Amino acid sequence: MANEDSDRTQPPAPPAAAPEATPPGAFSHLERFAKAFEASARRWELVVYPSLFAFIVLAAYGFFLVYSLTKDMRVLSANVDPQMTEHMDSMTASIERLSDTIQDMNVSVKAMAGHMKSLDSHIALMKEDTGQMSSNTASMTKEMERVNVQMGVIAVKLNALDPIVLNMAAMNDSMKAMTMSTGLMSRDIGRPLNFMNQFMPW
C-alpha cells in the first residue's frame, strides 16, 4: 500500500526526446576522412617500418662493434707488458743519449762549417796560384817554341857540316895510311942501321 501511494505522488516522467536527424552529407565527409586517414597511415607504414628495421639493424651492428671493442681492449690489457715502465725508462735514457749525441754532431758540423770556410779561402788562393801557373806555362810554351826554332837552325847548320865530317873521315884514313907507311919505313931503315952499327967502333 505504501508503494502504491508513493507511485501516485510521483509526477509522471516526461516523454523521451525524438532523435536528431543527421544531415545528408555527413556520411560522405566521414568516408572521405576515413579514406584519407587510411592512405596516410599506409604511407607512414611504408616509411616507419623500413626505418624501424634499419634502426634495429644499426643497433645490432653498434652492439657488435661495442662488443668487439671491449673484447679487443680486454685482449690488449692482457697483452700489455708488465715491465713497460722499465722499458719506458730505458727508452727515455736512450733518447737523452741520442739528444746528447745530436748536440755533439751539431758542434762537429759547426766546426766542419768553419773548416769549409777556411778551405774556401785556400781554394781561392789555389785558383790564384793556378792562374799564375797557367801564365808561366804560356811563357814556357813560348820559350819552347823559340828553342825549337833555334834547334831547327842548328839542325840546318849540322846538315851543312856533313861534307866537313866526310872530309875529316877521309883525313883520318889518310893519317892511318901515313902512320902505317911511316912504321914500315922505320922498320926498313932500322935493319941496315943496325947492321952498320955492328961495324962501327963507336
- Write out the chain's pLDDT in tens, 202 residues: 444 444 445 555 554 444 454 555 556 777 887 788 788 777 777 888 888 999 999 999 999 999 999 988 888 777 766 666 677 778 888 888 888 899 889 888 888 888 888 888 888 888 888 888 888 888 888 888 888 888 888 877 777 777 777 888 888 888 888 888 887 777 777 666 666 666 655 5
Exposed/middle/buried for 193, CB within 10 Å: 0-12, 13-18, 19+? exposed
Domain residue limits at 185: 161-196
Instruction: Indicate whether 37 and 67 sit together in one domain.
Output: yes
**Which pLDDT score is estimated for 183?**
76
The region that residue 81 occupies, defined by phi over 0 for left and psi between -120 and 50 for alpha, beta otherwise, is: beta
Instruction: Indicate whether 110 and 143 sit together in one domain.
Output: yes
Instruction: Indicate whether 68 and 37 sit together in one domain.
Output: yes
- Asked if residue 6 belongs to a domain, the reply is no
DSSP letters along 151-198, please? HHHHHHHHHHTHHHHHHHHHHHHHHHHHHHHHHHHHHHHHHHHHHHHH
- Asked if residue 66 belongs to a domain, the reply is yes
Instruction: Count how many domains the chain has.
Output: 3
Domain termination residue (choose one: 22, 50, 74): 74
- Asked if residue 184 belongs to a domain, the reply is yes
**Which pLDDT score is estimated for 5?**
46
**Which pLDDT score is estimated for 63?**
93
Task: State the pTM of this model.
Answer: 0.27
- Asked if residue 84 belongs to a domain, the reply is no
- Asked if residue 129 belongs to a domain, the reply is yes
